[in-house]
């Protein structure tokens, strides 16, 4: 709560309210303490208060008459059992608090491991250790009731403190863990929001929002708290809109309500099976309702013509219906090229005239490269000259260094010399 009475001075005879609201652990937990020291505390001032078997250190969050409203809101009675403020925090108190806070991270990791070993269906969100280190509060979330009697005994022996288990909800857990919301800012529950009100889908319907669970849910998995922020504004604006106006009868047929625009005081209607909507003013909708009660149907809707005002130096930005205007020629062109390539590959695989029969090809295997062209002696040179005779192995193609002759270039205008026939090696002779 914002202390809007903090700057208002008290009269000489007025006595400030003796109960002060104190916050702990950066505002994640708040409690009320009686000010018996009669000191005037200011907001944000560190104070030392009574704890369980010792003391604790917190900050003043609220003073004065507004504390009465907070106590009434949280249903806290002004009884003598309320704990007291001991003193303003000293350097020794603050140093002990820092050392205790430094243990909380390791204690949280260890406590989660112990709960996992005991196979308990619970999730530990935070561990808060008292400033003097004599008590530790474990905040957890669980869907069902958890029997943690054995867990408390293990925690007490492990951490040497008095253990308190406190169950919290999903929204409180998100406030303690923190994070960034879909709006790009830090979560409200971890910064300034302390009172969590119930949120339901009715708030989204009043604001003409689509019921999409993924978009309406926050980091905690519940509906966003910000759905309630503008709900009162929408409810006040919807009072001027007519009720029971979901359907209207006209000469062209029945029109159905699509949405309400509270900013322009318009109601959008559309015929069944049609995608075109007609904006009608509130007065026109009421006239059609009166005509329908008398058994009459209007011939025209008298839809409002929306005008877009564009300032000088600015361009008009509007949504355009491009359904049926997008060309798919690029996709058709790519698919046509793909089919032509497949046909070309099919032609290359078909046998051509002059090739050997299939049985001869099976007897003499050929080596082909990646493009499907034969290698070795079956490969035709580019200039059209017949290939040189080459020696081959038994059933295999020529290898490097065996039966390969480099063709010699002949000079221009000189006849080529005839080479004597090569002698055949008996080891490489064909059978």
Asked if the model's pLDDT at residue 33 lies above 90, the reply is: yes
CA angle (244 as vertex; 239, 249 as ends), nearest 5? 130
CA distances, 163 to each of 119, 137, 155 (Å): 19, 6, 7
pLDDT tens-digit readout, 125-150:
999 999 999 999 999 999 888 888 89
Q: What is the mean pLDDT of residues 397-404?
A: 46
Cα–Cα nearest to 206, from 241, 255, 247: 241
Mean pLDDT of 51-56: 89
Contact 197, 235 (CB under 8 A): no
pLDDT reported for residue 407: 47
Q: What is the phi/psi pair of residue 269, to 5°?
A: -125, 155
Give the pLDDT of residue 66. 86
Q: Helix, strand, coil proportions of the chain in percent (round to 5)?
A: 30, 20, 55
Question: Mean pLDDT lowest for which of 321-335, 374-388, 399-413?
Answer: 399-413
- Under the banding of pLDDT at 50, 70 and 90, the label for residue 393 is very low
Q: Are strands 55-62 and 46-50 parallel, antiparallel or unpaired?
A: antiparallel
Q: Indicate the pLDDT class of residue 32, thresholds 50, 70 and 90.
A: very high
pLDDT band at 396 (very low <50, low <70, confident <90, very high): very low
Tokens of 197: 């009100």
pLDDT of amino acid 17: 83
Confidence check: pLDDT of 411 > 50: no
What mean pLDDT do residues 143-159 have?
91
pLDDT at residue 421 above 60? no
- Looking at residues 336-346, what average pLDDT do you find? 82
Residue 175 CB-density burial (10 A; 0-12 exposed, 13-18 middle, 19+ buried):
buried
Q: pLDDT-based confidence at 318, cuts 50/70/90?
A: low
Weakest mean pLDDT among 70-79, 179-188, 331-340, 387-396: 387-396
| Spatial CB neighbours of 301, under 8 Å, sequence gap ≥ 6 | 250, 255, 269, 278, 280, 284
- Residue 198, pLDDT > 80, answer yes
pLDDT score for 370: 47
Whole-prediction pTM: 0.57
**Residues with Cβ within 8 Å of residue 190, at least 6 apart in sequence:** 174, 175, 176, 177, 178, 179
> Which residue, chain included where needed, has tokens 């005037």?
40
* Bridge pairing between strands 135-141 and 123-129: antiparallel
Give yes or no for residue 350 having a pLDDT over 70: no
Give me the helix-helix angle, 104-117 and 91-102, nearest 10°. 40
Instruction: Give the pLDDT of residue 191.
Output: 84
Work out the mean pLDDT of the chain and round it to a whole number. Answer: 78
- Which residues pair with residue 281 across a beta bridge? 266
Q: How far is CA 46 from the centre of its chain?
A: 39
CATH pick for 98-168 out of 1.10.3720.10, 3.30.300.20, 2.40.50.180, 3.30.420.40:
3.30.300.20
Share of the chain above pLDDT 90, in %: 32
State the pLDDT confidence band at 155, using cuts at 50, 70 and 90.
very high
More confident residue, 7 or 141: 141
**Cα–Cα dist 101/310, whole Å:** 58
């Amino acid at each position: 709560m914002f202390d809007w009475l903090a700057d208002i001075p008290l009269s000489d005879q007025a006595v400030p309210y003796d109960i002060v609201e104190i916050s702990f652990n950066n505002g994640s937990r708040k409690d009320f303490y009686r000010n018996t020291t009669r000191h005037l505390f200011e907001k944000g001032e560190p104070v030392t208060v009574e704890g369980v078997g010792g003391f604790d250190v917190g900050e003043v969050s609220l003073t004065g008459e507004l504390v009465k409203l907070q106590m009434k809101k949280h249903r806290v009675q002004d009884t003598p059992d309320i704990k007291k403020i001991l003193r303003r925090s000293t350097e020794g108190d603050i140093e002990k608090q820092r050392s205790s806070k430094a243990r909380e991270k390791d204690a949280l990791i260890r406590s989660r491991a112990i709960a996992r070993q005991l196979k308990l269906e619970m999730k530990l969100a935070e561990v808060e250790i008292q400033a003097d280190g004599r008590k530790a509060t474990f905040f957890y979330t669980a869907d069902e009731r958890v029997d943690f009697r054995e867990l408390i005994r293990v925690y007490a022996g492990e951490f040497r403190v008095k253990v308190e288990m406190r169950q919290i909800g999903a929204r409180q857990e998100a406030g303690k863990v923190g994070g960034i919301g879909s709006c790009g800012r830090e979560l409200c529950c971890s910064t300034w929001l302390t009172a969590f009100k119930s949120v339901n889908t009715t708030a989204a319907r009043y604001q003409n929002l689509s019921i999409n669970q993924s978009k309406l849910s926050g980091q905690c998995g519940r509906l966003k708290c910000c759905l309630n922020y503008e709900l009162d504004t929408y409810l006040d604006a919807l009072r001027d809109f007519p009720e029971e106006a979901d359907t209207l009868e006209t000469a062209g047929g029945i029109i159905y309500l699509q949405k309400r625009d509270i900013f322009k005081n318009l109601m959008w209607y559309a015929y069944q099976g049609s995608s075109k909507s007609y904006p009608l003013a509130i007065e026109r909708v009421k006239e059609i309702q009166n005509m329908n009660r008398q058994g009459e149907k209007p011939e025209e809707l008298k839809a409002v013509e929306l005008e877009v005002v564009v300032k000088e130096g600015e361009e008009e930005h509007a949504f355009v219906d491009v359904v049926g205007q997008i060309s798919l020629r690029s996709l058709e062109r790519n698919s046509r090229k793909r089919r032509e390539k497949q046909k070309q590959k099919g032609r290359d695989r078909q046998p051509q005239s002059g090739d050997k029969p299939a049985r001869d090809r099976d007897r003499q295997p050929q080596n082909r490269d990646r493009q499907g062209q034969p290698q070795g002696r079956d490969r035709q040179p580019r200039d059209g000259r017949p290939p040189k005779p080459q020696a081959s192995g038994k059933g295999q193609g020529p290898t490097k260094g065996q039966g390969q002759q480099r063709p010699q270039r002949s000079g221009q205008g000189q006849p080529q010399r005839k080479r004597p026939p090569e002698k055949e090696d008996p080891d490489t002779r064909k059978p």
